Amino acid sequence: EVQLLESGGGLAQPGGSLRLSCAASGFTFSNYAMSWVRQAPGKGPEWVSSISGTTGYTNYADSVKGRFTISRDNSKDTLYLQMNSLRAEDTAFYYCAKALTGWATYDIWGQGTMVTVSS
């Protein structure tokens, strides 16, 4: 079964850090671009960052550029998101998502992990 399982969410103070992980199974992880998409409560989804399958090429939304870092370990079938200098507006469910084709058509999503930034 194709599956993505996120972990690492929780409560962080403004200015703090968190590292999200996404464990993949059921498909050849290195063959696909992967992304993080977030969704604040009651709002629509927002693309955060993407990484290519093997070259390590990355893209970031302007709202997180310079603060968040996406990475992957293809030997462990795992995607990461290092989040630094967190702000209240980063509060959201964070989903990892697999690309069906190209970069930004997401056919498999994880269950999400909640990140709350509050003092």
Q: Give 59 or 116: the residue with its C-beta nearer to other proteins.
A: 59
**CB of 61 vs other proteins, minimal distance in Å:** 5
Q: Give 14 or 40: the residue with its C-beta nearer to other proteins.
A: 40
**CB of 119 vs other proteins, minimal distance in Å:** 27
Q: Which residues touch 8 (CB under 8 Å, ≥6 apart)? A: 18, 19, 20, 21, 113
Tell me whether strands 113-117 and 10-12 are parallel, antiparallel or unpaired: parallel
Q: Give 55 or 75: the residue with its C-beta nearer to other proteins.
A: 55
**CB of 17 vs other proteins, minimal distance in Å:** 23
Q: Is 88 helix (H, G, I), strand (E, B) or coil?
A: helix
Three-class HEC string of 38-70 = EECCCCCCEEEEEECCCCCCEEECCCCCCCEEE
The residues of the shown chain that bind other proteins, judged by CB under 8 A, are 44-47, 50, 59-62, 95, 100-107, 109-112
CB 81 within 8 A of CB 48: yes
**CB of 75 vs other proteins, minimal distance in Å:** 26
Q: Give 9 or 110: the residue with its C-beta nearer to other proteins.
A: 110
